[in-house]
């Protein structure tokens, strides 16, 4: 079996990644580093599940999961050969392929290749009920966490707020924090609200909802229409979080699994095939994975498909 890049292996050996507690046999000849996100988000538990699937079912494989700042960092790491598969938001992938410097990409990331479209990230804006925030306009003058700077979540925040006619200067305070830290500040009355781009049922907002009364903030359809693709209108169903009594309209962006052109065709084929053969295990890791659908997996890919993934979809009659 072909070795993947020595750079990935060297980085792992140097301890630059956060390892999941499982590693396959010491004789393993190929390394798959799964680039996930923060540990309080959805990417990380799904990354752990994916790494376990690959470690258990691909011969001669060692796997590892790396906690990162998610989309933008993941794509830059892939371009550098420091990971084999990564989670990313669709708008981040599109901007990476275009080489949008403002979004965090110094040049076109031309080595990126697609594995699969997976589940939608919902833009989830949640405030402490006592803050008085009920609408996007109410965020003016308030403290809001928008995710790590130039992360996929922060790119979403800029797009949503911009379409609503709100700039960061209009806010009372802007924090660039991971999901878990954002929630802790709200719980400690040091922040009013947080915008989190994640699958439904994200652990951080569940934690907040059980700690104090919350208010989910809707993103109206006219705001979403101003942004356009890849943003679409969705609904956060009532009861998704404790204290959320009604459906909440919002925007969503599709997530993708992305690799790079240095990954062996057979490995990319197996990574794609095993994802869809083990959706039960993925859903057990986080219910967001229940939205992964093979029929849509090769659609609207912002970068070229990896030849290994393309082979799988051809076998399935999808392309």
Q: What is the token pair recorded at 298?
A: 């090769």
pLDDT higher than threshold 50 for residue 15? no
Query: CA triplet 51, 56, 60: central angle to 5 degrees?
Result: 95
Interacting residues of 26 by C-beta distance below 8 A, sequence separation 6+: none
Q: pLDDT-derived band of residue 309, with 50, 70 and 90 as boundaries?
A: very high
pLDDT higher than threshold 80 for residue 172? yes
Count the Cβ atoms, other than its own, within 10 Å of residue 206: 14
Q: What is the token pair recorded at 147?
A: 């995710």
Give pLDDT tens digits for 46-89: 999 999 999 999 999 999 999 999 999 999 999 999 999 999 99
pTM: 0.81
Give pLDDT tens digits for 278-298: 999 999 999 999 999 999 999
How far from 174 is each of 107, 143, 144, 170, CA to CA, in Å? 28, 6, 5, 10
The mean predicted confidence, pLDDT, of the chain is 91
pLDDT higher than threshold 60 for residue 127? yes
Q: Which pLDDT score, from 0 to 100, does residue 150 have?
A: 81
**Strands 85-89, 248-260: pairing kind:** antiparallel
Count the Cβ atoms, other than its own, within 10 Å of residue 308: 21
Q: Which pLDDT score, from 0 to 100, does residue 149 have?
A: 85
Q: Which of 297, 304, 120 is nearest to 224 (CA)?
A: 120
Give pLDDT tens digits for 77-94: 999 999 999 999 999 999
Q: Which of 274, 291, 221, 268 is nearest to 249 (CA)?
A: 221
Lowest mean pLDDT among 25-34, 104-113, 298-307: 25-34
Q: Which pLDDT score, from 0 to 100, does residue 29 have?
A: 57
Helix axes 71-79, 152-163, angle to 10 degrees: 130
Q: Is the alpha carbon torsion for 156, 158, 160, 161 positive or negative?
A: positive
Count the Cβ atoms, other than its own, within 10 Å of residue 35: 29
Q: Which pLDDT score, from 0 to 100, does residue 153 have?
A: 92
Q: Give the mean pLDDT of 128-153.
A: 95
Count the Cβ atoms, other than its own, within 10 Å of residue 186: 23
Give pLDDT tens digits for 84-121: 999 999 999 999 999 999 999 999 999 999 999 999 99
User: Residue 197: beta bridge partners?
Assistant: 123
Q: Which pLDDT score, from 0 to 100, does residue 142 have?
A: 98
Domains of the chain: 6-119+255-315 (3.40.190.10), 121-253 (3.40.190.10)
Q: pLDDT-derived band of residue 230, with 50, 70 and 90 as boundaries?
A: confident
- Omega within 30 of 0 (cis) for the link into 191: no
Lowest mean pLDDT among 7-16, 46-55, 110-119, 231-240: 7-16
By the 8 A CB rule, do 305 and 268 touch?
no
Lowest mean pLDDT among 150-154, 209-213, 214-218, 253-257: 150-154
Q: Give the mean pLDDT of 288-313.
A: 96
Q: Which pLDDT score, from 0 to 100, does residue 19 have?
A: 43
pLDDT higher than threshold 60 for residue 39? yes
């Amino acid at each position: 079996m072909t070795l993947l890049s020595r750079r990935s292996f060297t980085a792992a050996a140097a301890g630059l990644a956060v390892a999941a507690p499982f590693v396959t046999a010491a004789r393993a000849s190929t390394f798959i580093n799964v680039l996930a996100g923060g540990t309080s988000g959805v990417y990380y538990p799904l990354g752990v599940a994916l790494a376990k699937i690959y470690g258990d079912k691909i011969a001669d494989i060692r796997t590892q999961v790396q906690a990162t700042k998610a989309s933008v960092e993941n794509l830059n790491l892939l371009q550098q050969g420091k990971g084999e598969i990564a989670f990313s938001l669709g708008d981040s992938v599109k901007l990476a392929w275009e080489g949008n410097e403002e979004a965090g990409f110094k040049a076109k990331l031309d080595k990126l290749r697609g594995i699969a479209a997976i589940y939608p990230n919902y833009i989830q804006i949640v405030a402490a009920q006592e803050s008085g925030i009920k609408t996007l306009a109410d965020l003016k003058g308030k403290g809001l966490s928008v995710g790590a700077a130039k992360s996929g979540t922060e790119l979403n925040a800029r797009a949503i707020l911009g379409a609503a006619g709100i700039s960061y200067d209009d806010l009372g305070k802007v924090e660039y924090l991971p999901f878990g830290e954002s929630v802790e500040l709200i719980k400690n009355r040091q922040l009013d609200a947080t915008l989190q781009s994640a699958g439904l049922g994200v652990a951080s907002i569940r934690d907040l909802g059980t700690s104090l009364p919350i208010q989910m903030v809707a993103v109206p359809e006219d705001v979403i229409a101003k942004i356009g693709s890849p943003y679409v209108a969705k609904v956060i169903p009532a009861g998704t979080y404790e204290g959320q009594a009604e459906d909440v309209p919002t925007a969503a962006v599709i997530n993708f699994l992305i690799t790079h052109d240095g990954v062996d065709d057979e490995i990319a084929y197996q990574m794609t095939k095993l994802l869809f053969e083990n959706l039960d295990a993925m859903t057990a890791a986080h219910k967001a994975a229940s939205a992964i659908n093979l029929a849509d997996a090769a659609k609207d890919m912002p970068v070229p498909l990896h030849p290994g993934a393309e082979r799988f979809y051809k076998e399935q009659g999808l392309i």
